[in-house]
Structure 1
């Protein structure tokens, strides 16, 4: 089937090539003939121009010759002219009138051809020819001009010559019928099949044409000039004449091209048959050779990939284990120091998710090159996981090891420019010695991982050496993580709700959902003690879904029973906010609970808000499009905050607990709280004070028109059942507010 399709394509190509070449050749011949026809038309027009001049010169000669005869004996010759005028009209058929004018341009003599209307004036001093004759009356040559008053036809001309009559000058004037003149000229000079139009001053004075179809394409324009008179002539052929002017070259070229195309098709078909036979034999040889090469190539690649990373081509975990298994016995035997550095790129999974796997792969390759540049001679480097590199080298003491770790950290620090993205990366480094693991490979890697975990706890660019206390901390972390998994499966995680109070009206207008972990012995653990652990694992996604599902169902129940305007505030971390499925999760549970979008409020800390506005503004905009209210927990008014609010404004501003705690006792904190309140009020943002713990703070807020607050003094965070009981009765503050309000 493929062979037939190849033959069809080849024959089609030959046919197309033959057709294209034939059409190109025909086009060349056609252009050549068009050019020849255009030149022929130009030549015929030039011949018409030459004959036009010759004929008009005969009229001018007749004028000059007759004027010279009149100059010899004006009276006698005038009589002779009267007798000979008939002969002049016969010999010059376009001659309309013969006049003799005196020096004042009055008519002394007149003869006219048949069917010529009599003159309407007897004096021609104002005519164009009179002006020319007055300037030089005895010039021996004839002069010409427009007929004007000498004729009732617009295009006619006059030829005039002066002669002496005693002491005065007379003028012989011939009026030429230009229409008749051109008609005789065209009919005698132009071959049948041509069409002509002659115009003067854009007015047609003569036309010999009946078909204008070819005029725009083939018309030849040429000026006809005689003395001061000028006409514009256009000549073009009729369709029949144009067909006669073409030769048989174009049909012959088309026919010849068709024959050559057919011959090419036959040769192509025959060549294809021969090529198929040769290709079938060569294919057998190539298949055998290629199979053999592919087998060797695949075998080499499998051997390489078994010990190397495909992206960076560095040794992988298998390669690292093989290297350590060969290296450690020799190190132990010779008691040489061996150190292992585990380098983990901080938050690489977030980068990979935000920027895409293509950019993530490029980041890994570039960091691998940067790390290799600072390694000492003989050092071994491998890539063991997506974001982790392991370096093995022999260093004598902690100072040299620390210096190498610092060099690696310093080399990773500069920004990366990838596809118009400016990316900053950091890495945490865990360090362990072989002697501390008793030269056991598994123990050495385990110790390095423990050190890496402690390095990550320090924040970005953490460096940590392994020591035995880390083992206990790592075990505790493992136990806590296992307990969290169990808590999620056994429904030991629950939400408590702290009311948001409208201080002037003493009403609950909203609640903030707060996550709590109730252990088996009844102890309640707050999120700050386990949230980091959740974010470092995949449990954060399950917890987020649990929060939305539980909070939305509870809010729907409260709105139906007590207050349809009650709002719910949820506090999310950056990791939760950048979850791709967050918008879908919010929409799903909101619709399921039949809640309006504006009854839901997402709250995040100032640092998270600034990072969102810088790198994830689309996330905030998407939440706003879903109708969610955005709340920012601020610790003061900074330039960064003002800039973020200007191009990514929230709906609500919360005053952080650390500011409210010292109000109004501390002047600095008081001023900061007042500045936050003024900023929110000026921007028409709702403002809520958090952690209000005494009546004096309540009074301070009311004096500054901050009427929304929450805190243990007003109402503590309660389980849903206890808060439901509180909603069923009128709300009163724990202490009576001053009556001034």
Structure 2
């Protein structure tokens, strides 16, 4: 039996090359996952895999060159090349595996098995390149041990590379794991070498023929491999510095444009996109300011609620484009009759509201008459013979009410009285018009009785993951089926519950029921689904909320990150410091925080960046006209960029057309909700529909519930 020995300095070089190759692998894993484009990631994968494979192969080959026998040695060029290709293929596969979003244990084990087999193949192919005659006799035990070491080393390499792929490239993060992996790779090689037995009469066929001789090959392999690994690491370092510089420039641009984006969002959030008039939220602010001024100065003002008569017939006969033109004309004609300090707002549809300062009741009556005459007696849209009139309801502060909600409600009641009186006229609120108080009292009593019965139930609307094209979870939406009146719209009974204070009891029930249902879905195999639950402003301010959330998670064994609590930005801004403390406590608990109806409120970017929110929901008001409004495209794009810059997921709600979905996916939204993807349905129907790999469009039978019909809207 031929007895071999090792050249010590080559053994040391092989260890250093193994450590350098391991270090390269860890750096390449980071570069692939942080690539800014898919093409850049593919280039890093290919180049990094080749460099890493060359490094591992070089270590093994240098280790083989360190081995000395008392006969001349050489290596067959073809088998040597094949062993190099095996190393490169294994390395490319390893880098691809650790660049995936997830690495479950099953995939990790299978990947380690394949990678270990590739490394072992490289080693034994390299041994075969010697073309020994007679052939090398391998000790089975040592061979099996080398295979075990190869697989174990691959498992450790994949695990560490996956864990460190998003860390920075500081030496203290990379060098210790690289040394550990290098020792594991060297251990596999020299275990494999220990398995080899060379008969006493052996000759090396590669040395006798046209093979590669080891003396000059050792120097060439060392210089070439170290140079290539060094170049790859240098390019990676330069690329990282360039990306960091670009990131700093982007951050500067982002900071300089955040104020512009905030101003643009505020303008869009507070104004109607069609008429450019103030919307409901800005109107509310105007009324509240007028209330303060009226109290301080003892002045009076009127809220005038105007609705067009016959507008639906115009839309049906001439189409929505003509209807929109009519609304713009009404807004312009009415604005011309108001004074500079008066306010005209559009609530939506054909509803307009005016806030008008008055000196006497006759001023209001005269203004209402002028508006009605201007709308009913002239052609508003020149290209069409349209005949519409207006009905106006008037409520006066402080004569009738001294709160925004009551003034709006009373003006609305008076407007309906004007319609019942024959339309094309106005009515001033009187106490006899408020005869619905008894009805509301009875409805409230019925609502109290409904809690804990099957009258109150939850429907679930799917949330689609854009990346996976599968359902990622559901939003819980509360419903009330009255035994006599049937389904009652959420906006009707939720406001009643908030005014009476029973919203906390309803909110606790909804949170518990949603988590109970989520537990059932998890037990049925959908353990990656999440559940979004809306919190009303009153429920959010309740001192026991944190304990209630903690208890319901424990009761139903729900992972905190699977529960997402949705709050509106206006709720947070009511008391920002208190809200921030509560949200931070909820975030420490592990639950997700979603800012609902984003863009329709008046939150400050200063507070937004402090919120521990994990998700922003784009209001459906910005989604509705996305296909026809370049302004809405800019707004949505700004929200997406802002959310991603703050490390938040972006959810778009109200998706009703394929065009809207395509726009939102291109703009970078992470999740979608809307009737196109699924209506709110009961839990059994939800599971039937979304057990499928792709979400289907479900059209609810019977009544059509309003989009986003949660218990905040």
TM range (shorter): 0.3 to 0.5
Normalising by structure 1, report the TM-score.
Answer: 0.37
Name the one with the larger helix percent.
Answer: 2
Structure possessing the higher relative contact order (Cα contacts under 8 Å, 6 or more residues apart):
2
Name the one with the larger strand percent.
Answer: 1
Please tell me whether Structure 1 or Structure 2 has the larger radius of gyration of its CA atoms: 1
Normalising by structure 2, report the TM-score.
Answer: 0.38
